[in-house]
Structure formats: structure tokens, C-alpha cells
């Protein structure tokens, strides 16, 4: 979720085009609308390189927004952004209070159970409608863990470590 050359943080994922003027409906990660509105530049990773987008309009609520960009003029252009993640420069985001984190901070964290046994690393955070879900990979195996207090016991961003209930309890 971060580029090698510049620290970038994922702020959301494009779900679909919105309207005929190139708007994008975006599911937001752990960023609020006010913070998003303060950003001027966002980025998408096209696979080969980073493309910079200039934010011209932003509206929405809760966990989604309708965004307009200078570089996207119509629905046809907007369609090419479907399912791509939007990023901002990490230093453009406000500092958080103790115990708070951005979802992108969870990527790469080591995951352990109550007995401190390694369960793998977080490789992705899914954002379905109800709550976020951690995708934990250990070897070839992936495990999905809901990001809710019932399953996640502790998140220590400073040490890149997440403690969860035993995986056996999840099955």
C-alpha cells in the first residue's frame, strides 16, 4: 500500500463511475470527508506508474464520497478507474491521537494470537459494508479476520503488531 519512492497512504477504493461528468464513487478507508476535502492531489497506481489526480469536487458522507477530478472529463474515462485504490502522500494526512490509526497502517503488521504464536502478516484490509476485514497471509494460506473488538484484542502500530483471538475460534 506504499510506494518505494514516496510514502503514500491508501484512502479509499473506486467502486464505480458516478454521473456523466467523470465523477467517481469511492468507498473511504479511515479518512473523514473533511480531511479528504483538504487534499488537493490524490494518486492511483496504474500498475506501471503513479498517476496524479487533482481533486476538484468532493461530497458524500460516512464511508463513501463522490469525487471529481480535473483529469477525468466523462463517464468513459471514469470507468477505467473502477476498483483502483486512491492514495495520498502520507505527510498530507493529519497526525492521529494515541491509539488511532489509518487502515493503511495495518498492512504489513505481524499478527499473533493470545499465546503470541505467529499467524502471519496483514496483506490487505477489505472494506465490505458492515466492517473492515483483515486479510492475513501465512505461507500460501490466507485467513480473514473481522476488524472488530470481539476478534482483535490489541493493535500496536508502533511495533507493527496485531493480537487476535485464536484462529481456531474463527472457524
Question: Burial level of 78, CB count in 10 A (0-12/13-18/19+)?
Answer: buried
Final residue in a domain of this structure, among 92, 121, 155: 92
pLDDT (tens place) for every residue of the chain, 171 residues total: 443 456 888 898 999 999 999 999 998 887 888 889 999 999 998 878 899 999 999 998 777 899 999 999 999 999 999 999 999 998 888 888 888 888 888 989 999 999 999 999 999 888 776 788 999 999 999 999 999 999 999 999 989 999 998 756 544
25 DSSP 8-state letter: E
Q: Is residue 2 part of a domain?
A: no
Residues 16 and 46 reside in one and the same domain: yes
Does this model's pTM top 0.75? no
Please count the structural domains in the chain: 2
Q: In terms of domains, do 22 and 72 share one?
A: yes
**Domain boundary residue among 71, 92, 113?**
92
Q: Which domain holds residue 80?
A: 8-92
Distance CA 109, CA 161 (A): 5
- pLDDT in the model for residue 2: 42
Distances from the Cα of 131 to the Cα of 18, 117, 144, angstroms: 24, 25, 12
Amino acid at each position: 500500500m506504499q510506494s518505494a519512492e514516496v510514502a503514500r497512504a491508501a484512502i479509499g477504493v473506486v467502486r464505480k463511475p458516478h454521473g456523466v461528468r467523470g465523477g467517481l464513487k469511492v468507498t473511504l478507508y479511515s479518512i473523514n470527508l473533511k480531511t479528504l476535502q483538504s487534499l488537493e492531489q490524490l494518486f492511483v497506481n496504474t500498475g506501471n506508474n503513479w498517476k496524479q489526480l487533482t481533486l476538484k469536487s468532493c461530497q458524500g458522507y460516512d464511508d463513501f464520497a463522490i469525487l471529481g477530478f480535473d483529469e477525468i472529463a466523462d463517464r468513459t474515462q471514469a470507468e477505467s478507474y473502477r476498483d483502483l485504490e486512491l492514495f495520498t502522500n502520507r505527510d498530507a494526512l493529519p497526525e492521529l491521537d494515541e491509539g488511532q490509526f489509518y487502515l493503511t497502517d495495518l498492512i504489513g503488521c505481524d499478527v499473533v494470537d493470545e499465546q503470541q504464536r505467529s499467524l502471519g502478516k496483514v496483506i490487505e484490509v477489505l472494506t465490505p459494508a458492515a466492517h473492515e476485514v483483515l486479510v492475513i497471509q501465512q505461507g500460501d494460506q490466507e485467513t480473514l479476520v473481522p476488524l472488530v473488538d470481539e476478534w482483535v484484542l490489541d493493535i500496536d502500530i508502533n511495533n507493527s503488531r496485531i493480537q487476535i483471538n485464536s484462529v481456531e475460534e474463527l472457524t
